[in-house]
Structure 1
Amino acid sequence: TLKEGQGTSVVAQGPSRPLPSTANVVVIGGGSLGCQTLYHLAKLGMSGAVLLERERLTSGTTWHTAGLLWQLRPSDVEVELLAHTRRVVSRELEEETGLHTGWIQNGGLFIASNRQRLDEYKRLMSLGKAYGVESHVLSPAETKTLYPLMNVDDLYGTLYVPHDGTMDPAGTCTTLARAASARGAQVIENCPVTGIRVWTDDFGVRRVAGVETQHGSIQTPCVVNCAGVWASAVGRMAGVKVPLVAMHHAYVVTERIEGIQNMPNVRDHDASVYLRLQGDALSVGGYEANPIFWEEAVKYRPRAAGGLCLKTSTEKVCAVWSDDLRRA
């Protein structure tokens, strides 16, 4: 089931700052993608960049994301992008703003439950060498030494990346917004977008003319849709179909586990689950085999305190947990 937010209307509350009449680019959505986009636009020297967030930064789905950063992917482009992201969140943002993103370098561990998956991880290790990403393929015994709490009886091996880690999603977005603002960008919260004005040029190409909000309009030639689960609804405002669908997911935080401190985060690609270190406990989540699609995100807005919140069934949680429990 879904819980619709209660509390003070953003219309009554008003925007966090006055809207400019014009902007060179408007970013819609104040989550991870929106804040990253605004930061990099500002860093590239784009003036007149404005971010519009319907409630508060990260109050959609970003606030409860895992914040995991795994550096190795099958695509060289992804490896380079992830290396850049790691530099930004682990060093550059703190140097720029003096704020901490919550970055914790505790390493990442991909587990292989079959020979094919282990061969894939060996290829990833080779790709990592080409891009300067340190990684090691470990035997089950070596994995047990690194992660004593893990059941390795049915493992073929693991891929260990010592410089992987986690970030605090809310803290990272706050730092990104601060850094972007220092470069001249504007972040406006409590400002829901209600429409996008478009026009057709002499060649029949539809172009953006402006953005309508509940608190006024901004004339702009460019819009970046970073609305997350609301991206399809925002796209329809401009007559654009966004091929995106949201799904319900669940994660569970365990009680305190003795000896878990500093253990690496774990990913099982075959079971589509992860284990994320969270202080002296674990956050457990993943992708369900039969997901519940969320097709009416536009009807729901973030909670007044804490952000968008969904409830899910115990059966769905247990389905994800079954493979995690096997590792304990």
Structure 2
Amino acid sequence: MRAVQITEFGGPEVVAVREVPEPRPGAGQILIDVARCGVNFADTLLRENAYIAAAALPLVPGGEVVGRTADGRRLAAMIENGGYAEKAVIPEDRAFPVPEEIDDVAAVALLAQGLTAWWLINHTGHVRPGESVVVHAAAGGVGSLAVQLAKMSGAGRVIATAGTPEKRELALSLGADAAVDPAAEDLTAALCEANNGEHVDVVLEMTGGRVTDQSIAALAPFGRLAFYGMASLVEPEKVSPRALQRRSATVSGFWLMNAFARPETLRKAYAELTAQVAAGELRVIHGGDYPMSEVRRVHEDLRGRRTTGKLVLDPSR
């Protein structure tokens, strides 16, 4: 079968479409014909062996897929790897049924991005009605969904950040009350100004470096910052426990892989998200449906911050 295989770590040039053996399902696994596989920023880190979890070569990347079984069941699933391929093996206990009214891009977007946004709003960030919420990278896969879910949860004010005027306009169209350029010299002041001069209650952050540091400084008493990625690859400054104590603030981390220890919660979340999309209450931003043969361009566009919404590969092309 055709698949994208990495045989050495490096830049976009190391991802290539090759003929590889078809995977064979074992106990508790299901083989599916992949309709679409998701592309995530984490894939570009995995390609460089810079992700949270170390990788072994050779490797077929891709952690999220939607497709059909031989008997016609339509399933979506998160997998460790192997998604950039015509066929993939998925664990039965991590397979989510997909309603027919949900398109393939949405079905994939509601996996890593949708489940992460849902968990950040409902668990890690504990967003309460009336609270202010900052969503960094608000035009991206997680951010675009988190803006909407924050509003649906009753947030009093949602403040989006995005790097271009077009991306900030997109965030506003999704329901954000204000949009801020994260490159502002004093991001702390910009976030507070966007919150009518007040410090903020919740920050969903995946950039790292100064964005994390200045976002922590923008937290109100009892504020929470949920850290779920580091797209800049720059570590934030050391967080001072005494500084957090003075404001009773919380800085926490989230990685979706840990949530799979609670499969019932994730099944509930995925069913809730697909129902909201089907009802027209939640909008998935289609960021690009690429042929698998153009996988290098996808990685280049993603790392170059030239994308919005959800990116997918079509293994049939």
Q: TM-score, length-normalised on structure 2?
A: 0.24
Q: TM-score, length-normalised on structure 1?
A: 0.23
